[in-house]
Structure 1
Amino acid sequence: MTIHFTEVIEPNPIIIDALNRWENNPVLIPFIRPNKNKKELEQEWQITIEEFKSRLDTQHFYLIYIDDKLVGEMNYMVDPSHLHKREPGTAWIGITIGEEDGRGKGIGFKAIQYLEEEIKKQGLTRIELGVFEFNTRAYKLYQQLGYQEIARIADFTYWNHTMWSDIRMEKYLGE
């Protein structure tokens, strides 16, 4: 099994189809986007090539492959408005392992390490992320990689008939 990452410069229909499939997968929705209520949780979202091109203006976007199969995506943006700690030069990261056969294989671990190296190349020294409190596997992974909890935003997302917090974590990158 070979894991590799590719930066997206120009989107194509294959990428858009995968993103839309993952974004609307009922198993993934609670983990990849905040939802205010049951209706929002069940809502379908569709991204177009034009919308994705617009995202590339503010995000560095990478595809995750096992061998030649697209299994996920990861991205980072610099100094977005939703940072908890507004420290200039901060990257906000996001990762989705969209295909079930890509999960539980250590891909998230390798993906974060790869993102950290790309972020360091940009001269950035801090990363912040958010993880929903019910996503204990991801929380443990981030802790293992040196991320520290800095805040909890209560009643942030709806899932399983309950409102959950968003846990904000940070890591300072060494030289």
Structure 2
Amino acid sequence: MSDLITAEVRESVERSVLCWLATSDESGQPNVSPKEVFAVADSQNIVVANIASPQSAKNIRVNQKICLSFVDVFVQKGLKIIGTAAEIKPSVPEYFRWVEPLHAIAGDRYPIHSVFVVRAIAVEPIVAPSYRFYPSETTEKSQVQSALRTYGVRQDKGA
């Protein structure tokens, strides 16, 4: 299997402050939940902390197919990682290998009940429709300016 978590994918994940984990239960009912503690583990895996996600954990136990989405809401671009997930609990010896990068992020602030290890099968871009429908007038800069207006955010001139 090739290395799907490239340097570019790693940079996008590391710039994200939130990602969305989509799972589904045994009947196919989808569930999407935000995750704020996650890290690239290696060239094929991303680890996500299970802090308060009993439904995601339950779904992964019955259906390992998942999707992780990372989107820069200002640029309106990102990526989705399609893959499989396994829940690794603290009672499993390999847990400490997977949880280590998450402890560096969460510290003592959040209890990590288990780790979702996501093995990438495919990585695909997420791009706002404006880039496709209006390519001559849509730039990252114009998308950022539009998002700033929409969200009522002012940029710090000193930043």
TM-score category (smaller protein): under 0.3
Q: TM-score, normalised by structure 1?
A: 0.24
* Structure number, greater radius of gyration: 2
Q: TM-score, normalised by structure 2?
A: 0.25
Higher RCO, Cα 8 Å, sep 6+: 2
